Amino acid sequence: MLEGSILQKLEAAHRGGKRPLNFGVYFKNTLVALCHALEDFILESDSPPIVITAFQRGKWYLQEAERYGDLADKSAQIAIMAAPDAGFAEHPTSQKSNVALVSLEPTDPVAQEWHLMILSETYTAMVLCQELSASDYGEKGLPENDPERKFYGFWTFEPDLVRETVELAIAHIGEYDPQLQQTLKTQVEKITATFGTRSRDDISVVVSRVVDYLQHSHEDLSHLEETALLGSPIQEQALDDNLLSNEMQAFLRMAQLIDQADATNPMAAAEVAAISEAMGQLLDLPAWQLKRLRLAGLLHGLGSSLVTAVHSQEEAPCCPLMPGVQALRAMPQLRAIAQILTHQTEKWNGTGIPAAIAYDAIPLESRILGLVTDFQWRVRQVQTLQEEEDKPTLSREEAMSRALAECQALSGEAFDPKLVETLTLLVMGMQQGMSFQTHQPKIAAGMWLLGSHPVEEELLGVSSIKA
C-alpha cells in the first residue's frame, strides 16, 4: 500500500485490532459494476447522502459525469478527487452547487486509488481500493486490456467503517480545500447525529442490484471474448471468477450487517455455521454437503424475518417472500442455499412455516440449521435474562445445558429426534473442552464455499439421515 494513501491509513488504524479488514483483489470490470450498483441505489433512497469518490484521473470521472449529474440531484454533497485532465472542471455536472472537485497532485498517493464512499442516515456503502503497481504484476507486467487492471482493497456496507473512512477522506481533502473540509465535516456530524432514528434502507434491494450488475458484467465479458478483445482463456476465467466472488461477497456482507445489528448476538452466523458443520461431521455427511451447510449457516440471518416470527410465536404468511432469501435465487450457485434457508423454520411434526412440511420431507440441512439456530438463540437468551435480572452470570457450559434441555423438550415435535441426539453429543463435547473456530469468515476469500457438488443432490433430494 502506498504510504499516506487513505487505504493505508485505514489499514494502519485496524492493524492488530479486533476488527481486521478483509482485503481482496478486484479487476476493473468488477469495480465498475459494483460501484454502479451501489451508486444507483442513491436514486431510490429517501435520505440524501454525502458521496466522496476518488477517480484517479479526471478522464475516468468524465466517463461517469452524466451519471453523477443524476446522483447529485439526490445527494447532499458530492466530492470528487482526481488528478485533473482536460474538461475535468468544465463538465456541466462539475458546475452544480453541491458538486466539488478536488484536483489531486500527480504525486499524491490518492491519485492511485479508486474510492466510493456513501454516507446517509439510512444507507451506507463503500468501495476502497488501490491500483496495483507495475512491480505488483510481476514478470507479465501491466495488462494490455483495461478490464484486466487489478486493484487491492475491499468494499462494505458497515456504517461505522464507512464513517471512519469518510473522516479520513475529509482530512485529506482539507489539505487542498479547507472550506470544503469544514462543509463536509458539518454534514457528517448532522447525519451521524440522527443514526438510528430512521429505518435503514432495505439492504437486500442493494444486494440484488449488485448481483444483477455483476451478472450483466459477465455477459459483457462474453461479448469481449467473442470479439477477441480479452487475453488468454486463463485470464478470461480469472475475470469471470472475480465477478462471481463478489456476488458471493455481497450476500456474506449483508448477513454480516444483520448480525452486527443485534448487539446481544453479533457472532450468531459464525457460531451457527461452526456448530452446524460439526453436526454434519458427526452425521458423516459428504464434504460437498458440509460446505453447503456451513454456507447456509453463515447466511441464515437472511431468513431472519421467519426466525423472529418463530421465536416470538407470531403468525407468519404461509409462503412469505423474504427479500434476503429471494435475492439468493438470482445467483444459480446459491439457489440450493435459498431452499435450505426457506425451510429452516419448518417443524418435525409439520406445524412449522412456511410450507408446513414434516419429517424427512424437510431438507436435512434445513432441519440441522433450524435446530442449531434455535439452540444458539436459546443460549444467548439464557445469558441475557441472567444479566437483565441481575443474577449471577452463568458460565457458557451452564447456559448450553439449559438451552439443550429446552431443545430436548421439543424433540419429536419441533425437531428431528435423531438430530437432537446428535446435538446432545456435541454439547457434551463442548462442555468437556471441545471448541470450534467461530471467528467471522474472511469474506473476500469466500469462493471456496461455492464448491461443486453432485447434480442429483443440488435440489436437496437426499433428506434422510444415514442409519
Does residue 235 form part of some domain? Answer: no
Residues facing residue 100 across a β-bridge: 79
The mean pLDDT of 248-262, rounded to a whole number, is: 74
* Inter-residue contact 81 to 55 (CB < 8 Å): yes
Residue 461: pLDDT over 50: no
* pLDDT of amino acid 166: 97
Q: Which amino acid is at 293?
A: L
* pLDDT of amino acid 261: 65
Does residue 321 form part of some domain? Answer: yes
* pLDDT of amino acid 142: 76
Which backbone phi and psi does 326 adopt, to 5 degrees? -60, -35
Do 13 and 113 sit in the same domain of this protein? yes
Does residue 215 form part of some domain? Answer: no
Does residue 274 form part of some domain? Answer: yes
Does residue 213 form part of some domain? Answer: no
Query: Residue 398 is placed in which grid cell?
Result: 451452564
The mean pLDDT of 409-426, rounded to a whole number, is: 96
The mean pLDDT of 128-151, rounded to a whole number, is: 80
CA distance 244 to 448: 12
The mean pLDDT of 160-172, rounded to a whole number, is: 95
Of 29-38, 176-185, 200-209, 383-392, the one with minimum mean pLDDT is 383-392
* Higher local confidence (pLDDT), 21 or 130: 130
CA distance 25 to 20: 16
Please report the DSSP string for 73-136 in residue order: TT-SEEEEEEE--TTTTTSGGGGSTTEEEEE--TT-GGGGEEEEEEE-SS-EEEEEEEEPPTGG
Does residue 77 form part of some domain? Answer: yes
Percent of the chain topping pLDDT 90: 43
* pLDDT of amino acid 440: 58
Q: How confident is the model at residue 459 (pLDDT cuts 50, 70, 90)?
A: very low
Q: Which domain holds residue 106?
A: 6-198
Does residue 223 form part of some domain? Answer: no
Q: How confident is the model at residue 197 (pLDDT cuts 50, 70, 90)?
A: confident
* pLDDT of amino acid 168: 96
The mean pLDDT of 386-414, rounded to a whole number, is: 87
Do 312 and 435 sit in the same domain of this protein? yes
Q: How confident is the model at residue 22 (pLDDT cuts 50, 70, 90)?
A: confident
Select from 144, 175, 198 the last residue of a domain: 198
Angstrom CA distances, 126 to 54, 163, 165, stand at: 12, 10, 9
Does residue 124 form part of some domain? Answer: yes
Do 293 and 432 sit in the same domain of this protein? yes
CATH code assigned at 52: 3.30.870.10
Positive or negative CA dihedral for 221, 224, 225, 230?
negative
Do 148 and 278 sit in the same domain of this protein? no
* pLDDT of amino acid 441: 58
* pLDDT of amino acid 382: 86
pLDDT tens by residue, 266-276: 678 888 999 99
Angstrom CA distances, 147 to 83, 164, 237, stand at: 21, 30, 13
C-beta atoms surrounding 358 within 10 Å:
14
Residue 446: pLDDT over 80: no
Residue from 166, 209, 222, 161 nearest 29 by CA: 222
Select from 198, 214, 231 the last residue of a domain: 198
Do 21 and 101 sit in the same domain of this protein? yes
Say how many domains are in the chain. Answer: 2
SS (H, E, C) 399-423: HHHHHHHHHHHCECCCECHHHHHHH
Do 193 and 276 sit in the same domain of this protein? no
* pLDDT of amino acid 189: 94
CATH code assigned at 388: 1.10.3210.10
Residue 463: pLDDT over 70: no
pLDDT tens by residue, 356-397: 999 999 999 999 999 999 999 999 888 887 776 777 778 888
Q: Which amino acid is at 59?
A: K
pLDDT tens by residue, 289-340: 998 999 899 888 886 544 444 444 444 444 445 656 777 887 777 888 889 9
Mean of pLDDT over the chain:
82
